[in-house]
Structure 1
Amino acid sequence: MSLDTPKFSDLDALYDVENAKVATEMYEDPELFKEEMDRIFKKTWVWVAHESEFPDKGSFKLSQVGLDPVIVVRDRKGKIHCMVNRCRHRAATVCEVKKGKTSSFQCPYHGWGYGLDGSLRAVPYPEQYGDDFDKSQHGLLKLRTESHEGMVFATFNEDAEPLVDFLGPEVCRYMTLFMKQGGGFPVKVLGEHQFQVPMNWKVQLENTTDAYHFPIVHKSFMQTLDEKTEDLFDFMEKNEGWVEDLGNGHSILMMMPSRADLDERLDDPIEPRFEWLAEEIRKEGYSEEQVKKIVLAVGGPGFNMNLFPNVSFSLSFFRVLTPIAVDKTDIRHMALGMDGGPAIANQTRLRLHEHFQGPMGFGSPDDAEVWERVQRGTRGGEELPILVNRGIVDEKPGVTGPRGHVSSETGMRAAYKMWKHMMEMEA
């Protein structure tokens, strides 16, 4: 079925821009899901990796672009490639190791061998293909690949705008600020945990720049904090922050404006909860300025940012969504640290990550429960719309788009506006 059929020809019925209402079919219809994979995930830039995950020549990791399994790899010259993980002969995957280092990829079925750049290098018993068989035409299917601030994106669309144009200047600026949590060192992925939620991918897309849910869903998390830290996270009551549409479906939730740029906090006293950490870092011979920079980095910046369609920056980790089916989505939470930084600082960051994001944490399990309940709830009252209209009443112009109250659903409207734009484009 195509969007040209009557069922999907009226995109206004699926997302009512003026009234900010989302139709239930958006979460439920498998045919619509297929169209999204073609019109969105096959057409725009999709996040696939962080450069620290495959730092050396010959190192690689497996990833996804929509439903397509891909390999992200550095060749012998250090150039990054992204290729579909499918042998050009009979479609078997050429790699099943999630991350590693290699000199080539070989299909386990009939032995076709591929270079790190995806080119077909060897075919066993090639004579049966004839003299006109051209190996250069049978390499792994390659995607356009570009990076910014260590974040690697890929697209099937050869006509897509350059990555930095898709991100836009404000997103690029906030990416630079986010990476300051390296504390003077490069940001590095320390580890991750992955889980699957029975929900449509857009349910999670709505979450990262949604502050409205935080004091309710994460009440148990707030109760585990000391008084000073609880006050830091009480951004709903303080009403100092905002949500802004950054263009192309991207959005930012500025929860703690005073922590937007960590370098501007270097003259502040060290927070009491991290005084012990500062002392441990001093023992390793770091200067006082370095100590402050590292300790501030451990706490992370004060904002979340959502990049359409599949990756989020959330305080001190990356959240990556991978659509699996209309009602099934994989989530990866990637803990971030300092490449070359003090071991005690990275250990502390991991403990903070586990406190909120880990499977036994006080954040992720509560989020996942609510996401699943949203998907279950859509089975009842299919004619009822899903509302994303909070905060329209007092939105003001921001730098790139509307800016609303810290609890506004501006970020959701930004994502759905881009969703509609891409679904309207010719397939």
Structure 2
Amino acid sequence: MSLDMPKFSDLDALYDEKNAQVATQMYEDPELFAEEMERIFKKTWVFVAHESEFPDKGSFKLSTVGQEPVIVVRDRKGKLHCMVNRCRHRAATVCEVKQGKTSSFQCPYHGWGYGLDGSLRALPYPEQYGDDFDKAQHGLLKLRTESYQGMVFATFNDDIEPLVDFLGSEVCRYIDLFMKQGGGFPVKVLGEHQFTVPMNWKVQLENTTDAYHFPVVHKSFMQTLDGATEEMFDFLDKGKGWVEDLGNGHSVMMMIPELEDLDANLDAPIPERFTDLAQELRDEGYPDAQVRKIVRAVGGAGFNLNLFPNVSLSLAFFRVLTPVSVDRTDIRHMALGMDGGPAAANRARIRLHEHFQGPMGFGSPDDAEVWERIQRGVQGGDDLPILVNRGLVDEEPGVAGPRGHISAETGMRAAYQMWKRMMAQ
């Protein structure tokens, strides 16, 4: 299919921006999905990894950019590279180990060997290619790669704006705030788990800045909390938060404004659920000021930050989506901790992650069931629109885009506006 002109030229029929309505076709048309992979995932910055996952020279991890398998690796000079996981000879993958450390990559089919920077270093019997064969022209296909606050992004689009410009100043400010949950230590990935949901990728994209579902879908989670924590998560009734369009499809949902800046209000009483942790840190010799900073950071930030098109910084973890097909999406939940921080604090972070995000947690499994039910539901009533118009009635101007009520669907509209913009190019 030629990309000179979009096949789906009537984008207004797919996303009616004026009335904030999404066509059912958006979730179930395989040809539209294929065009999204070309026009969106191959044209913009896509999150692939976190720098902490590459502690040594030769550290690598498999990831994806849309449907393209890639390897992210730190070379001998300490530079990070992102390369398509495909031998330049006959297309076999050159790595099948999800994460590890190596000195090189070698194709298992014919033995072509590649350096950590993707360059073709050696191949058996090269004389059969003739004297004009240039190894420098046959390295692994490399993507442009940039990082912000340890978050590694890659793109096939060499002409795209720098990463910090794509994110924008407001997004960068929120990422800076989010990373304060290192409690004075660098943030690192403690581990991750992956699961697959039979849904279109945009269903999950909509979820992270959707507070409206929280008291319904996460009722069981709320019932597991102590009184003070339950009150803190009762942000819909409090109405103090907001959802804001941050430009380029990004958005933020501020659920707990008092936890926007984890370095603020450190003199506040330590929540009862963290008193044992605080005492353990004091017993280990940490001074009171540092104990307060670490404990406050353990609970995570008070907001979800959605970065178009594939990653969310959600309270205390990264959620990464990978579109597999029109009705299948892989999700990775990356647990975050404190690099060099106290073991007790990182254990507490893992326990909190397991409580909500884990495979046996009280949050994400409920989310996944609803996502699956959406994909089943769109098979009926093809002419019925999907509504993302909640909160249009009282949106106000924000710094980079409109700001709405905590339960508004402002973040979804931000993502679909960017979707429409990219699909029109």
The answer to whether TM tops 0.5 is yes
Instruction: Give the deviation of 1:3 after TM superposition.
Output: 7.3
Please show how residues 334-353 of structure 1 align to structure 2 within 5 Å: 334-353=334-353
Partner of 1:423: 423
Partner of 2:405: 405
Instruction: Percent identity, please.
Output: 82
Instruction: Give the deviation of 1:54 after TM superposition.
Output: 1.2
Name the CA shift for 1:7/1:84 in 2 (closer, same or farther; >3 Å): closer
Contact 1:2 1:35 in 2 (8 A): no
Let me know the Cα RMSD of the aligned residues: 1.0
Matched to 2:44, the amino acid is T
Matched to 2:260, the amino acid is A
Instruction: Give the deviation of 1:230 after TM superposition.
Output: 0.1
Contact 2:212 2:407 in 1 (8 A): yes
**Whole-angstrom distance in 1 between the partners of 2:3 and 2:91:** 29
Partner of 2:61: 61
**Whole-angstrom distance in 2 between the partners of 1:164 and 1:97:** 31
User: In structure 2, the residue corresponding to 1:264 is in which secondary structure?
Assistant: coil
**Whole-angstrom distance in 1 between the partners of 2:5 and 2:275:** 63
Contact 1:303 1:315 in 2 (8 A): yes
Partner of 2:390: 390
Name the CA shift for 1:5/1:119 in 2 (closer, same or farther; >3 Å): closer
**Whole-angstrom distance in 1 between the partners of 2:210 and 2:138:** 45
Please show how residues 142-153 of structure 1 align to structure 2 within 5 Å: 142-153=142-153
**Whole-angstrom distance in 1 between the partners of 2:7 and 2:248:** 26
**Whole-angstrom distance in 2 between the partners of 1:356 and 1:2:** 44
Instruction: Give the deviation of 1:8 after TM superposition.
Output: 1.5
Structure 2 residue 289 is matched with structure 1 residue 289: yes
**Whole-angstrom distance in 2 between the partners of 1:335 and 1:76:** 27
Partner of 1:246: 246
User: In structure 1, the residue corresponding to 2:358 is in which secondary structure?
Assistant: coil
Contact 2:6 2:423 in 1 (8 A): no
Q: Which digits, 9 at most, give the CA deviation of each residue in 1:319-363, with x for residues without a partner?
A: 000000000000011111001111111111101100101111100
**Whole-angstrom distance in 1 between the partners of 2:97 and 2:423:** 34
Structure 2 residue 86 is matched with structure 1 residue 75: no
Please show how residues 166-315 of structure 1 align to structure 2 within 5 Å: 166-315=166-315
User: In structure 2, the residue corresponding to 1:210 is in which secondary structure?
Assistant: coil
The unaligned stretches of length 5 or more in structure 1 are none
Contact 2:22 2:385 in 1 (8 A): yes
Q: Which digits, 9 at most, give the CA deviation of each residue in 1:165-206, with x for residues without a partner?
A: 000000000000000000000001111110000000000000
Contact 2:6 2:424 in 1 (8 A): no
TM-score by length of 1: 0.98
**Whole-angstrom distance in 2 between the partners of 1:325 and 1:52:** 30
Instruction: Give the deviation of 1:7 after TM superposition.
Output: 6.3
Contact 1:37 1:67 in 2 (8 A): yes
Partner of 1:165: 165
Instruction: Give the deviation of 1:147 after TM superposition.
Output: 0.2
Structure 2 residue 9 is matched with structure 1 residue 9: yes
Partner of 1:362: 362
TM-score by length of 2: 0.99
Instruction: Give the deviation of 1:2 after TM superposition.
Output: 5.7
**Whole-angstrom distance in 2 between the partners of 1:132 and 1:77:** 30
Name the CA shift for 1:134/1:418 in 2 (closer, same or farther; >3 Å): same
**Whole-angstrom distance in 1 between the partners of 2:269 and 2:413:** 39
Partner of 2:106: 106
Q: Which digits, 9 at most, give the CA deviation of each residue in 1:225-249, with x for residues without a partner?
A: 0000000000000000000000000
Contact 1:114 1:139 in 2 (8 A): yes
Contact 2:255 2:406 in 1 (8 A): yes
Contact 1:3 1:9 in 2 (8 A): no
Structure 1 residue runs of 4 or more that deviate by more than 6 Å after TM superposition: 3-7
**Whole-angstrom distance in 1 between the partners of 2:271 and 2:46:** 37
Q: Which digits, 9 at most, give the CA deviation of each residue in 1:251-290, with x for residues without a partner?
A: 0000011100010021111111101100001111111111
Structure 2 residue 414 is matched with structure 1 residue 414: yes
Instruction: Give the deviation of 1:74 after TM superposition.
Output: 0.6
Instruction: Give the deviation of 1:315 after TM superposition.
Output: 0.3
Partner of 1:88: 88
User: In structure 2, the residue corresponding to 1:263 is in which secondary structure?
Assistant: coil
Q: Which digits, 9 at most, give the CA deviation of each residue in 1:98-140, with x for residues without a partner?
A: 1111111000000000000000000111110001000000000
Structure 2 residue 19 is matched with structure 1 residue 19: yes
**Whole-angstrom distance in 1 between the partners of 2:364 and 2:155:** 29
User: In structure 2, the residue corresponding to 1:294 is in which secondary structure?
Assistant: helix
